[in-house]
């Protein structure tokens, strides 16, 4: 097919994320992806400044992941997980247990981040029933979060950004605290925040769910790790479970393997996804403790964890995830993420002086420019493309998450693309 043919069929028949049909902005046809690059069907080479939404952390088509996929697909691409098991799932579970906190020993494999959050919520509710607290049936979270697009996950997304008004009467009504104070807030502000947060833990709260340190699609906001430790203490005081959604932050993005373990916090339930397969295919996991699993296994807890996707434990995805975690295990990103962080700081700092820019912030391999008003998405995307960079701004945010393999020059180019996008928004 030609690029025009692909674009025409796409426009006539395909839905894209958060878009009407037909879409208001044409999607860009991509032929191949390798390393940090996307190759368009019309022959352009672009740097994937988004790591394809946090996932392609080692770049695209990493030879070790490609080899793992080839080897696995020749043996077995998929078998049902009900009653059957296999080495890729077993080895991946062992690896996840090894990489995460010692207390997290039970692994539920699912097909996407949203589903891993659904499973986390089921685990928490079934746990509370098993622990003799069926009245604990709601979730507490802070605003400006994002946990996915399925209904239970949506119910804990930021109520405004998640368009709860559209779903009122349909979505479970959860308990919302204000957004966490931004990184660098004083100890007084943090303590006051945590006191208010604790006051929201009513007798009907089963669990707290948060994205620790980095809130992703709900606003790309950063907060201090002290708040995460504070939430852990609050959960302990009230017999409430702590769910850490590290789907975006897990596997090195912030410069730490997981932000929770790096600050000595063990969640009761941990969700991982996105970079789990290095961006190769879809897979997520929900990890929990023996205590949570034990309560679920009691008659009051339901006796069994009531979830079981058709493609649970998909061997192909597990084999690739295992190869990706081997790469994570080499620790190469412990050098490259701080280097990328430095490059983003250097390359983006000057934008803070622009009148239409509200804030510039960098943490690990995440660079965010927050505008005062919504960006002109088409103009911003075009400007970045002209600089050879693929970015996907939304709302007031123009941001990037470079692949960990990005060279210093490539990070500088991503910053040029981002500056061009931000400048284009200023002209609109």
Ligand X SMILES: *Cc1c(COP(=O)(O)O)cnc(C)c1O
- Residues at the site binding ligand X, with contacts judged by CB under 6 A: 112-114, 117, 146-148, 211, 216-217, 245, 247-248, 273-274
CA nearest 279: which of 36, 3, 14?
Answer: 36
CA nearest 107: which of 277, 285, 249?
Answer: 285
**Residue 50: CB partners within 8 Å, gap ≥ 6?**
390, 391, 392, 400, 401
Nearer CB in complex with ligand X: 228/424: 228
Catalytic residue among 146, 193, 376, 399: 146
CA nearest 308: which of 76, 119, 89?
Answer: 119
**Residue 306: CB partners within 8 Å, gap ≥ 6?**
122, 126
Nearer CB in complex with ligand X: 155/410: 155
b/e 364-377 (16+ beta carbons within 10 angstroms → b): bbbbbbbbeeebbb
DSSP track, 354-387: STTEEEEEEETTEEEEEESS---HHHHHHHHHHT
Is 18 one of the catalytic residues?
yes
Is 146 one of the catalytic residues?
yes
Bond into 160 cis (ω within 30) = no
Report the C-alpha gap between 264 and 279 in whole angstroms: 28
Is 274 one of the catalytic residues?
yes
> Least Å distance between CB 93 and ligand X?
19
The answer to whether 286 and 108 have CB atoms below 8 angstroms apart is yes
> Least Å distance between CB 4 and ligand X?
30
Nearer CB in complex with ligand X: 211/268: 211
Nearer CB in complex with ligand X: 158/341: 158
Is 245 one of the catalytic residues?
yes
Residue 103 structure tokens:
């207390």
CA nearest 258: which of 146, 121, 101?
Answer: 101
Nearer CB in complex with ligand X: 158/370: 158
Binding annotation for pyridoxal 5'-phosphate: 113-114, 245, 309-310
What residues are paired with 178 via a beta bridge? none
> Least Å distance between CB 298 and ligand X?
29
Nearer CB in complex with ligand X: 148/181: 148
Binding annotation: 53, 113-114, 146, 245, 274, 308-310, 392
Give the dihedral of Cα atoms 13, 18, 19, 20; nearest 10 deg: 90
Catalytic residue among 111, 122, 158, 274: 274
**Closest residue to ligand X in the complex (CB):** 113
Report the C-alpha gap between 61 and 69 in whole angstroms: 10
> Least Å distance between CB 44 and ligand X?
27
Bond into 118 cis (ω within 30) = no
Catalytic residue among 48, 101, 158, 245: 245
At which residue do the structure tokens 């946090």 appear? Answer: 54
Give the dihedral of Cα atoms 172, 178, 182, 187; nearest 10 deg: -130
> Least Å distance between CB 74 and ligand X?
27
Binding annotation for substrate: 53, 146, 274, 308, 392
CA atoms within a 13 Å half-sphere pointing along the CA-CB vector of 298 = 14
Residue 69 structure tokens:
């996929």
> Least Å distance between CB 162 and ligand X?
12
Catalytic residue among 18, 160, 236, 374: 18
CA nearest 261: which of 376, 102, 91?
Answer: 102
> Least Å distance between CB 54 and ligand X?
6
Nearer CB in complex with ligand X: 245/376: 245
The answer to whether 369 and 360 have CB atoms below 8 angstroms apart is yes
Instruction: Point out the residues that are catalytic.
Output: 18, 146, 245, 274
């Amino acid at each position: 097919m030609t690029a025009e043919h692909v674009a025409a069929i796409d426009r006539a028949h395909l839905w894209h994320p958060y878009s009407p049909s037909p879409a208001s902005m044409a999607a860009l046809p991509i032929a191949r992806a390798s390393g940090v690059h996307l190759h368009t069907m019309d022959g352009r080479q672009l740097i994937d400044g988004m790591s394809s939404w946090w996932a392609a952390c080692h770049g695209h088509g990493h030879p070790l992941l490609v080899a793992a996929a080839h080897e696995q697909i020749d043996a077995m691409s998929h078998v049902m997980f009900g009653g059957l098991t296999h080495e890729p799932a077993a080895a991946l579970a062992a690896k996840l247990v090894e990489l995460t906190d010692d207390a997290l020993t039970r692994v539920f494999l699912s097909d996407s981040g949203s589903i891993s959050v659904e499973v986390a919520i089921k685990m928490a509710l079934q746990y509370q029933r098993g622990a003799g607290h069926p009245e604990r049936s709601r979730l507490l979270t802070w605003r400006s979060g994002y946990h996915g697009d399925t209904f239970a996950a949506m119910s804990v997304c930021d109520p405004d950004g998640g368009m709860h008004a559209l779903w009122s009467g349909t979505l479970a009504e959860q308990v919302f605290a204000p957004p966490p104070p931004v990184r660098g807030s004083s100890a007084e502000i943090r303590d006051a925040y945590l006191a208010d947060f604790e006051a929201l833990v009513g007798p009907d709260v089963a669990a707290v769910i948060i994205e620790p340190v980095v809130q992703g699609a709900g606003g790309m906001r950063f907060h201090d790790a002290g708040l995460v430790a504070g939430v852990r203490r609050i959960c302990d005081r009230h017999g409430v479970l702590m769910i850490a959604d590290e789907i975006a932050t897990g596997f090195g993005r912030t410069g730490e393997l997981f932000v929770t373990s790096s600050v000595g916090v063990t969640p009761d339930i941990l969700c991982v996804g996105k970079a789990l397969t290095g961006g190769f295919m879809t897979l997520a996991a929900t990890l929990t403790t023996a205590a949570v699993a034990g309560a679920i296994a009691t008659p009051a807890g339901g006796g069994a964890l009531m979830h079981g996707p058709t493609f649970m434990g998909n061997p192909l995805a597990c084999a690739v995830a295992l190869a990706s975690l081997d790469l994570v295990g080499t620790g190469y990103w412990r050098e490259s993420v701080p280097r990328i962080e430095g490059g983003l700081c250097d390359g983006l700092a000057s934008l803070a002086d622009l009148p239409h820019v509200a804030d510039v912030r960098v943490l690990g391999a995440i660079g965010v420019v927050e505008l005062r008003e919504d960006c002109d998405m088409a103009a911003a995307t075009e400007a970045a493309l002209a600089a050879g960079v693929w970015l996907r701004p939304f709302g007031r945010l123009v941001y990037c998450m470079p692949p960990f393999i990005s060279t210093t020059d490539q990070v500088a180019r991503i910053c040029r693309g981002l500056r061009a996008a931000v400048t284009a928004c200023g002209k609109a």
